[in-house]
Amino acid sequence: DAFFPFPDCVEIAHQAGITAVIQPGGSIRDAESVEYCNQHGLAMVTTGVRHFKH
């Protein structure tokens, strides 16, 4: 329900056996998370829609 601000979040998910993530995107470091997914065979979908507001 939130974007991945750093690629370590995706790495932790990968180590836990997650194979795909859906996130709204929007982090200034999105490219780093996408790169990690591409290098490790994870699927990432960005929706462009936030589901909660602060």
Annotated domain spans of the chain: 7-46
β-pairing, 20-23 vs 43-46, is parallel
Task: Answer yes or no: are the C-beta atoms of 48 and 25 closer than 8 Å.
Answer: yes
CA distance 54 to 38: 31
Tell me the per-residue pLDDT of 2-40, one tens digit each, with 9 for 90 and over.
778 889 999 999 999 999 999 998 888 999 999 999 999
Q: What is the pLDDT, as a whole number, of residue 21?
A: 94
pTM over cut 0.85:
no
- The pLDDT, as a whole number, for residue 45 is 94
